[in-house]
Amino acid sequence: MSSPAISYESLKEHLEALSMDAALTALDGVLEQGQKEQKSPVQILDHLLTLERAARFERRIKVNLRLSGIGLSKTLEGFDFEAQPSISKDLINELSTLRFVHSGENVLFLGPPGVGKSHLAISLSLKAIENGHRVYFLSVHDLVTKSRAAREKNRLLNLQHILVRPDLLVLDEIGYLPLKQEDATFLFEVVSKRYEKLKSIILTSNKTYASWGDIFPDPILATALLDRLLHHATTINIKGESFRLKNRRDAGLHPQTGL
Ligand code: ADP
Ligand code: MG
> Minimum-distance ligand to the CA of 171?
2
Minimum CA distance residue for ligand 1 atom 26: 79
Atom of ligand 1 nearest to the CA of 81: 23
Minimum CA distance residue for ligand 1 atom 21: 116
* Residue 80 CB–ligand 1 contact under 6 Å: yes
Minimum CA distance residue for ligand 1 atom 14: 119
* Residue 68 CB–ligand 1 contact under 6 Å: no
How do the domains of the chain map onto residue ranges? 4-68, 89-250
Atom of ligand 1 nearest to the CA of 109: 3
Q: For the whole model, what pTM was predicted?
A: 0.89
How far does the centroid of ligand 1 lie from the alpha carbon of residue 117, in Å? 7
Atom of ligand 1 nearest to the CA of 173: 2
> Minimum-distance ligand to the CA of 120?
1
Q: Residue 148 and residue 142: Cα distance in Å, rounded? A: 10
pLDDT by position in tens, the chain (length 259):
445 667 899 999 999 999 999 999 999 999 999 999 999 999 999 999 999 999 999 999 999 999 999 988 999 999 999 999 999 999 999 999 999 999 999 999 999 999 999 999 999 999 999 999 999 999 999 999 999 999 999 999 999 999 999 999 999 999 988 999 999 999 999 999 999 999 999 999 999 988 888 999 999 999 999 999 999 999 999 998 888 777 777 776 655 554 5
Report the top-level CATH class of 89-250.
alpha beta
* Residue 119 CB–ligand 1 contact under 6 Å: yes
* Residues near ligand 2 ion, CB 5 Å cutoff: 117-118
* Residue 116 CB–ligand 1 contact under 6 Å: yes
Burial pattern 103-126, b for ≥16 Cβ within 10 A else e, equals ebbbbbbbbeebbbbbbbbbbbbb
